[in-house]
Amino acid sequence: MIRILIADDQDLVRAGLRMILEAADELEVVAEAHDGEAAVELALLHAPDVVLMDLRMPRCDGIQATRKLAATTSAPKIIVLTTFDTDDNVYDALAAGASGFLLKTAPPTRLIDAIRCVHSGEALLAPSVTQRLIQQHLTHSRPDPLLAERLDVLTDREREVLTLIGRGRSNTEIAQQLVVSEATVKTHINHVLGKLELRDRVQAVVLAYESGLITVGAPPGQAP
């Protein structure tokens, strides 16, 4: 069973989400929160596997709540719910620790698939979507030298793998480019995430851009 917490300040939205989720196999809504503060408190109390987090809520918005939960032990996977995918707050939520986002207009099947996807540890967002958000946000920003220093813990091969992750390459594509097995690629990715204390590939893509490892505006398919 995948345990879910719904955080949204609108009663009708929470009720609608609960109805959709509880009609699906292996999904269980364990709690509902009407604002960010309640989302954090209830998540600590009920230990959900996945949190559906509205971006705009009173007291504590979805970004702040995501940041607080991402910093906890055994943090849940977080899917941000938004009205517009061009909202700068979507990027901020990803940087804070969300594993992806969904538009509130997404069909029920997409919502259910997204929950199962992040729960299994797979990437929710297409690399091109993640890159577009990051590039849009960082177009007028400079790389953070402190973030660049974090990459010093990586070996040359691990840095190469991080670059390819940032470019949106799949494990299969990385294996082909580096002429290694997919099992070896997975090992390198686990080392990268572990050394950099990142939760998932989305966080790796964000760091690759913010640190300057990948230049904003470079074509996604371009070799590092």
CATH at residue 194: 1.10.10.10
Residue 141: pLDDT band (50, 70, 90) is low
- The proportion of the chain whose per-residue pLDDT surpasses 90, expressed as a percent, equals 55
Residue 81 sits in the same domain as residue 176? no
8 A C-beta contact, residue 204 and residue 165: yes
Q: For 103-117, 130-144, 197-211, which range has the lowest pLDDT when averaged over its residues?
A: 130-144
Query: What b/e sequence results for 90-128 when a residue is b if at least 16 CB atoms lie within 10 Å of its CB, and e otherwise?
Result: bbbbbbbbbbbbbebeeeeeebbebbbbbbeeebbbebe
What residues does 80 pair with on adjacent strands? 53, 101
Tens digit of each residue's pLDDT (9 = 90 or more) over 110-137: 999 999 988 987 767 665 666 677 777 6
218 in any annotated domain: no
Domain total in the chain: 2
What is the band of 203 on the pLDDT scale with cuts at 50, 70, 90? Answer: confident
CB 115 within 8 A of CB 76: no
Domain of residue 48, CATH code: 3.40.50.2300
- What's the domain range around 74? 2-124
In a domain, 15, yes or no: yes
> Which pLDDT value is given to residue 221?
46
Alpha-carbon distance of 28 to 100, in angstroms, equals 20
119 in the same domain as 35: yes
The reply to whether 7 and 46 lie within a common domain is yes
**Collapsed DSSP state (helix, strand, coil) of residue 138:** helix
Last residue of a domain, one of 89, 124, 159: 124
Residues 119 and 145 in one domain: no
Most confident stretch, 39-48, 53-62, 165-174: 39-48
Residue with tokens 């109805």: 19
User: Looking at the whole model, is its pTM more than 0.85?
Assistant: no
Q: What is the token pair recorded at 57? A: 């809520």
Same domain, 151 and 103: no
The predicted pLDDT at position 125 comes to: 67
Residue 215 lies in a domain: no
